[in-house]
Structure 1
Amino acid sequence: MKRKLATTVSSLVVLSTVLAACNNSDSKKTEGTAKKDAKQILRITSTTEIPSMDSAKATDAMSFEVLNSTNEGLLRLGPNGTVEPGIADKPEVSSDGLKYTFHLRDAKWSNGEKVTAQDFIYAWKRALDPKLASEYAFILYYIKNGQAINEEKATPDQLGVNAPDDKTLEVTLERPTPYFLQLTTFGTYLPENQKFVESQGKNYGLEAGTVLSNGPFELSEWKHEQSYTLKKNPNYWDKDAVKLDEIKYNVVKDTSAAVNLYEGGQVDLLPKLDAEFIDKYKNDPKNFHTMLDARLVFFRFNESNPLFKNANVRKAIDLAYDKKAVTDGIMNNGAIPAYWVVPTQFAKGPDGKEFRDTNGDFNKEDIKEAQKLWAQAKKELGKDSFQVNMLSYDDSTRKKAAEYIAGELSKNLPGLKINVQPQPFEVKLDLEKKFNYDFSFSGWGPDYPDPMTFIDMFLSNSPFNEMKYNNPEYDKLVLDAKKEPDASKRWNDMLEAEKVIMKDSGIGPIYQNGIAYLEKPTVKGVYYNAFGAGYSYKNATNKK
């Protein structure tokens, strides 16, 4: 639901600091005190609501970003993807790479209770419980018997975790996993306080009052579809490192409204700037910044629909429009056309080469070839015209991109009519989960720094394969890679798997995301994570 701008603006007004009592002769002293005691508040715009603050149920970038601020796992991500101490320091690792021993520091939940090793064990077992139906349960399969428990082939007490005492956590893996430390920073690996979770029942994670924090900030206010506020957590173990007193998110789906707030001094960080404003700010290095993101934006084809079950249809759509026109003409934010599953500048293999450099590009646009494939598909399907719906995001930029592509496809593939259906983020996610769509303008950001974070989502039994894509050859390559101890063979299996799905046009890559954003010069210490949670604010400051 879109709110009136007046409501949006009012939620961002910062109350002035109350000054100590003084007489007129102490005005200079009072002025100095005001500056010293002024709250540090970071005001941010967001295009989406938080779908969930339950770490076992969260699946989206916004939820994970806020969870990264309000909660903390064994370790946390630092600048440039480095791993930093969290509730524990870096662990002891056995010589075979299978057993990790973490020693927890003295840490508390926001209600004053101690954070213990059992909080991690409870959270992981809860996420693996098939009754909860966590879509991210698979990311815990690295732990011994995690998958078997989730598939009800083993009991929860067989999970490869042990707590000799409240401050020691032993974790045994199924097989050596070189990126396991990075995995422990991910949202599904966060701890949960069992007593609190169970006391909230079905409301857990859905309101400000039904969440508990053990991280730098607490979720203090949550006005659905309008705003949410984080306040510094006084019980956080490293609270002295946290300089911000508050982070105020304001949900603004229209970029022009967000820009007006930024220019009016009511917003300090605008994380996503639309193409129409980039030319205006691109020569302003104090406020304007860009970076290439590792997020892949692509079409999901729901193969429950006979039209999209046809491989020639999928291939025709992937070839029938100019992706560079999308990135340069609409996005204009550093995004680049995507002709693959695994993004560029993301992962290097055992040979030191980029995954992307080895496999190259697939399925470059070719309208004549697309039209041949489309004609063949129509013969195979016995129909000459089709009307379908394209699910899309409802923010202005991605909605424009979806509408542009729909127009190009309708023009270049005779007989195809596409209705674009923009939806609020959480509604769109739900429609995809329920397969209640034809094809969808979608996206995926990496959870950890390895190609598998993109490749295994399209396994036939993956909870994120919300398209019913099913190719036994693809499944075998991916599953072999998951079990392969030899790094070179594992890498080759993933390269081959990408070739298979691109030959099928199992998905339709559109672009690798770029990020153009505005940030006030007073804001320091905010950094963006290439994988897992988005922005990190633990070390941020905003001194005005």
Structure 2
Amino acid sequence: MKKSKLMWLLGMILIFGIFLVACGKEESTDTSGETKNTENTDGTEETTSNKLDDEQILNLVERAEIPSMDSVLADDAVSFNALNNVAEGLFRLNEENVAIPAMAESEPEVSEDGLTYTFKLRDAKWSDGTPVTAKDFVFAWQRAVDPDTGSTYGPYMMSGTIKNATEISTGSMDKAELGIEAKDDKTLIVTLERPVPYFASLMAFGTFYPQKEEYVTAQGTNYATNSESLLSNGPFILTNWDGNGLSWTMEKNPEYWDAETVKLDTINIDVVKEAATSVNLYNNGEKDRVVLTGEYAMQYADNEEVEQVLKPTVYYLKFNQERNGNKTPLSNVKLRKALAMSFNKQDMVDVVLANGSIPADFLVPTAFAYDENKKDFREVNGDMLPFNAEEAAKLWEEGMKEEGLTELKLDYISGDTDLAKNMDAYLQAQMETNLKGLKLNLKNVPFNVKLDLDAAQDYDIQSTGWAPDFQDPVTFVDLFQSESSQNNMSYNNEKFDALLDQAKGELALDPAARWQVLAEAEKMIVEEDAAIANMYQTGSMSLQKPYVHGIIAHPFTGDYSYKWAYISGK
């Protein structure tokens, strides 16, 4: 995309930085770069009651298979996208991306010290007609933090937040001691370790969804492995999913407490990884919405059905400092800094992506988090480690000498989509040209395989990304604490850990001081230690049929909701 279009896009970002509204439309982007267009549908039920088409069927494309429909085990964007539409927690993000009561019937009662939350549950049912109770939340949360379960997000999201979660996740305390209690079927009491300013948005996240103990126990290891072994308490029910396939369906859930709001009857989703195939399906009328990248973004840039957006999702390279129990050459900070500065981010977003993404010489995205004076967090540190081929070459030479190397071969893992392959080819050309003796061994693998390789730390460089879990800088920065389940690259800095502990603890109720500490931590991870190499903040272009309305995009939790979507004028 041309720079003029990038500047136009930046000018359209909302002041709160959560999502973009252009001519009443919104979009969302997951960590693969795929987007979901939306339309602000305030008052939809009143204004569209006479305009709805008889056939309420939406046909979409997804970029990868669903790795897991177990909300406790899910740890990727594709899974959370699906879960957001078939499940629901105490809170849900609404059409304005404000966290509002969902399974909770109202705002909770909060103790004076900000540590105890008492929720009253509404009358809601599972898809089998049985009631959703407070015990369902207790069971799910305890299961998520239990080390025997193997959840990555449970310990990550709850440790240091929910009382005793840290001790439970490390096996030093029983899960029954978690700070959550079902006083009765309709009363849930949650006790925190510390005050959490963003707690309401946290309660909309998938890891905190309920699960029915009797059902999960009866299913055993088969639970949530296919659509026949899954219960729903959200707007839709997942159908026609075998656990591995390239297609699935969502059907309206008649037991959902707010079913009258849901207009769509059926959503058909197919996994399509080739951009050309997606565009052909759209042009043939088989799909109602597809993402555009590279040459297709350029080709359709002026099409009247194109939507554009900038999202608070950042892509970066992870540098693995330890592999198979041994230190890697990437434990050398000079080599990491050289790699981080060796590729031209502006050319990357203009030519390779061409979809409204912007260069990211930072970790916490622009137009995402603001202080009490409405100052963007990005203004504190500005840009860090920008492209500088000359400086990169100098640091690379110094680092190679320190390691006693003249040539360095590194395994680089990434996804298997067309976009990922184009991006990787660009990075390989840039890095190998600017860094003498570097050879990248590109491995484009399916999403599930990449997750497994990450968990096993079986890589040297990994292309990945992160979408926020709630609206606060810490959702990005604390990914790299030494004990974080998302680290998986052996980055360990005691000073960095201490800064994050301060932000989460003693400074939790001191916004200004906390802001500065988080900025210092960001500067350390990106610039001083170069533990990662930031690439771009996600933008997207997509084609959406004009008869599709009301898909709501979210900056965190699932990337989009279909609860308010409808077909009109097809």
1:275-331 deviation digits (Å, cap 9, x = unpaired): 21123322223x110110111100011111522111111100011110111111111
Tell me which residue corresponds to 2:551: 526
**SS across alignment from 1:517:** strand
Tell me which residue corresponds to 2:171: 152
1:93-127 deviation digits (Å, cap 9, x = unpaired): 22322221111111111111110000001000000
Aligned partners of 2:427, 2:111: CA distance in 1, in Å? 52
User: Residue 207 of structure 1: which of 226, 229, 240 is its match?
Assistant: 226
- 1:79 paired to 2:95: yes
Q: How does 1:129-528 map to 2 (within 5 A)?
A: 129-137=146-154, 138-141=156-159, 142-223=161-242, 224-270=244-290, 272-285=291-304, 287-305=305-323, 306-483=328-505, 484=507, 485-502=509-526, 503-528=528-553
- Distance change in 2, residues 1:36/1:175 (3 Å): closer
Aligned partners of 2:116, 2:316: CA distance in 1, in Å? 37
Select between 483-492 and 148-157 the one with higher mean Cα deviation: 148-157
**SS across alignment from 1:164:** strand
Aligned partners of 1:158, 1:249: CA distance in 2, in Å? 41
Aligned partners of 1:263, 1:410: CA distance in 2, in Å? 39
- 1:65 paired to 2:78: no
Aligned partners of 1:229, 1:345: CA distance in 2, in Å? 34
Deviation, structure 1 residue 350: 3.4
Is contact 1:75–1:90 with CA below 8 Å preserved after alignment? no
Residue identity opposite 1:467 in structure 2: M
The number of aligned residues is: 508
Is contact 1:104–1:116 with CA below 8 Å preserved after alignment? yes
**SS across alignment from 2:78:** helix
Aligned partners of 2:417, 2:158: CA distance in 1, in Å? 33
Aligned partners of 1:131, 1:262: CA distance in 2, in Å? 44
Aligned partners of 1:187, 1:461: CA distance in 2, in Å? 22
Tell me which residue corresponds to 1:40: 56
Question: What TM-score do you get using the length of structure 2 for normalisation?
Answer: 0.87
Is contact 2:311–2:538 with CA below 8 Å preserved after alignment? yes
Select between 116-125 and 436-445 the one with higher mean Cα deviation: 436-445
Aligned partners of 1:432, 1:253: CA distance in 2, in Å? 21
Aligned partners of 1:95, 1:388: CA distance in 2, in Å? 53
Aligned partners of 2:482, 2:405: CA distance in 1, in Å? 28
- Distance change in 2, residues 1:476/1:36 (3 Å): closer
Aligned partners of 2:271, 2:52: CA distance in 1, in Å? 30
Aligned partners of 1:500, 1:529: CA distance in 2, in Å? 29
- Distance change in 2, residues 1:172/1:407 (3 Å): same
Aligned partners of 1:240, 1:491: CA distance in 2, in Å? 42
Deviation, structure 1 residue 476: 0.8
Q: Larger Cα Rg: Structure 1 or Structure 2?
A: 1
Tell me which residue corresponds to 1:14: none
Aligned partners of 2:341, 2:372: CA distance in 1, in Å? 32
Aligned partners of 2:239, 2:393: CA distance in 1, in Å? 55
**SS across alignment from 1:229:** strand
Is contact 1:298–1:511 with CA below 8 Å preserved after alignment? yes
Aligned partners of 1:315, 1:164: CA distance in 2, in Å? 53
Unpaired segments of 5 or more residues in structure 1? 1-34
Aligned partners of 2:288, 2:306: CA distance in 1, in Å? 12
Select between 155-164 and 376-385 the one with higher mean Cα deviation: 155-164
Is contact 2:343–2:389 with CA below 8 Å preserved after alignment? yes
Is contact 1:275–1:331 with CA below 8 Å preserved after alignment? yes
Deviation, structure 1 residue 85: 2.6
Aligned partners of 2:474, 2:563: CA distance in 1, in Å? 28
Select between 84-93 and 243-252 the one with higher mean Cα deviation: 84-93
Aligned partners of 2:142, 2:296: CA distance in 1, in Å? 47
- 1:97 paired to 2:114: yes
Residue identity opposite 1:300 in structure 2: K
Is contact 1:119–1:191 with CA below 8 Å preserved after alignment? yes
Is contact 2:52–2:566 with CA below 8 Å preserved after alignment? no
Residue identity opposite 2:397 in structure 1: A
Residue identity opposite 2:135 in structure 1: Q
Deviation, structure 1 residue 239: 0.6
Tell me which residue corresponds to 2:140: 123
Tell me which residue corresponds to 1:30: none
Residue identity opposite 1:494 in structure 2: L
Is contact 1:73–1:184 with CA below 8 Å preserved after alignment? yes
**SS across alignment from 1:123:** helix
Deviation, structure 1 residue 37: 8.2
1:64-96 deviation digits (Å, cap 9, x = unpaired): 010000001111011242112311122222232
Deviation, structure 1 residue 441: 0.9
Tell me which residue corresponds to 1:19: none
Unpaired segments of 5 or more residues in structure 2? 1-50
Deviation, structure 1 residue 438: 1.3
Residue identity opposite 1:475 in structure 2: D
Tell me which residue corresponds to 2:6: none
1:119-143 deviation digits (Å, cap 9, x = unpaired): 0010000001011121112212312
Is contact 2:550–2:565 with CA below 8 Å preserved after alignment? yes
**SS across alignment from 1:43:** strand
- Distance change in 2, residues 1:37/1:491 (3 Å): closer
The alignment-based identity, stated in percent, is 43
1:414-460 deviation digits (Å, cap 9, x = unpaired): 11111211111111111111111111111111100000000111001
Is contact 2:53–2:567 with CA below 8 Å preserved after alignment? no
Aligned partners of 2:138, 2:259: CA distance in 1, in Å? 25
Q: How does 1:49-64 map to 2 (within 5 A)?
A: 49-64=65-80
Is contact 1:48–1:225 with CA below 8 Å preserved after alignment? no
1:460-507 deviation digits (Å, cap 9, x = unpaired): 110000111111111111111110232222111101101111211010
**SS across alignment from 1:376:** helix
- Greater relative contact order structure (CA < 8 Å, 6+ sep): 2
